[in-house]
Structure 1
């Protein structure tokens, strides 16, 4: 099934190109292949860093990664078992189920698994962020320049993220994404919405009447390419920051970003 309309950033990329952003997407949620039946059963991968203090305590990691990701992946496996989706990667499942009402829950589980792994992949402890030059924004020139050009400064970017978060009620993700014109934007998706797809970005407040943009004028058939995100689901910050300290959680997250990961994502996505 040719379900995926490849964005311009991914055109010409083959799966064997391990440096491509597309192949990284496909591999970002590893799967265990059962050779006998040629079916994929998704597992919870190891994240790059387990020490993410003070953003996540040891208990916070267990809740936000081990337990939450474990629940999401198990629920996804339960839904796709015995279906035509059983042997697809999680990234592919997101696209195949995005516009099918009968697969709405499957989409949510697949998209949430992807979103959460994308989030944890770019985190380090605040101590490492201060001590390791490789992960610091100042030593990753492409993303640093892009932030300057689009937001003027990293402080202005953080302020924009916090302003959007302050107007967000309920479970959501905030993303820094690359748009059709290689510009960085800040956007929000509710629940497990995906920035990859216009149809399932879930970026409008569900309590408001949404406007419908005219996508026919856009230069490509693909939505935004994410380069970084922050989880605004309750489980991500209640454990270590409590009910009323979401702004402190966002500040701590911004000090815990591995900018070298973000730099690589941006370089592989520019067209």
Structure 2
């Protein structure tokens, strides 16, 4: 069973003016699809692996055969990360976290604004291509981390709660090299309801698209 591209949960233009329609079409239809194509190609001789939900596959990356491990890590991570990223964006602008996630952010970082400042600074410090994440460990503790390229926090045994793609393809058409403007725009379109649900769920995985 091959992995397939999940539909966006909103229209391509729904995140404007913060992310433009052209970028969303390119990012979703071309970049994400390419990761899926490459992942399916890598797994063509390993049908049992290709039947796993993508978050399970990334959680078992060390069990993937050596000859395809790099391809699965790169392209499988690209599929997992993007499948989650689309869900973490919302056309309901300027929402704020509530409930247990908000309490945990306040407890760990001091306040929502302090968390956003730290997350932003770390996002701007990523050299080259990668992601910034708010993750939860097995003890339920929150922390901010980055991953290079398309590496997934799931492969490190962590639950991604919030993620920001800082590859240039995510923002270059609209913001060119102005990553700070892109990160600033991100805060207007965060789907805090999705993030809160992931924080509260013991099974918080990337999704079941396969």
- Tell me the TM-score normalised to structure 1 length: 0.68
State the distance in 2 between where 1:67 and 1:43 align: 13
Deviations 1:135-187 (A, max 9, x none): x225x222111111111122111111122123211111100011233221000
Deviates more, 1:90-99 or 1:71-80: 90-99
Residues 1:240 and 2:174 aligned together: yes
In structure 2, the gaps of 5 or more residues are 204-210
Distance 1:119 1:101 in 2: 28
Residues 1:137 and 2:103 are matched in the alignment? no
- Regions of 4+ moved over 6 Å: none
What is the CA RMSD across the aligned residues, in angstroms? 1.8
By how many angstroms is 1:90 displaced? 2.1
- Could you tell me how far 1:101 is from its partner in structure 2? 3.3
- The answer for unaligned runs of 5 or more in structure 1 is 1-39, 131-135, 199-222
Q: Which has the larger radius of gyration?
A: 1
Higher relative contact order (CA 8 A, sep 6+): 2
Query: Does structure 1 conserve the Cα–Cα contact (< 8 Å) formed by 2:3 and 2:50?
Result: no
Q: What secondary structure sits across from 1:119 in the alignment?
A: helix
Q: Distance in 1 between matches of 2:172 and 2:77?
A: 22
SS of structure 2 residue aligned to 1:81: coil
Alignment deviations for residues 176-200 of structure 1 (CA, whole Å, 9 cap, x no partner): 01123322100001011111233xx
Tell me, in whole angstroms, the C-alpha distance in 2 between the residues paired with 1:74 and 1:197: 21
1:200-239 → structure 2 map (5 Å cutoff): 223-239=157-173
Which residues in structure 2 correspond to 1:1-271 (within 5 Å)?
40-50=1-11, 51-84=14-47, 85-98=49-62, 100-102=65-67, 103-125=69-91, 128-130=92-94, 136-137=95-96, 140-198=98-156, 223-243=157-177, 245-269=178-202
Aligned 8 A contact 1:143 1:266 in 2? yes
* Cα distance, 1:93–1:197 mapped onto 2, change above 3 Å: closer
The CA distance in 2 between the partners of 1:239 and 1:63, in whole Å, is: 10
TM-score w.r.t. length of structure 2: 0.87
The number of residues matched between the two structures is: 198
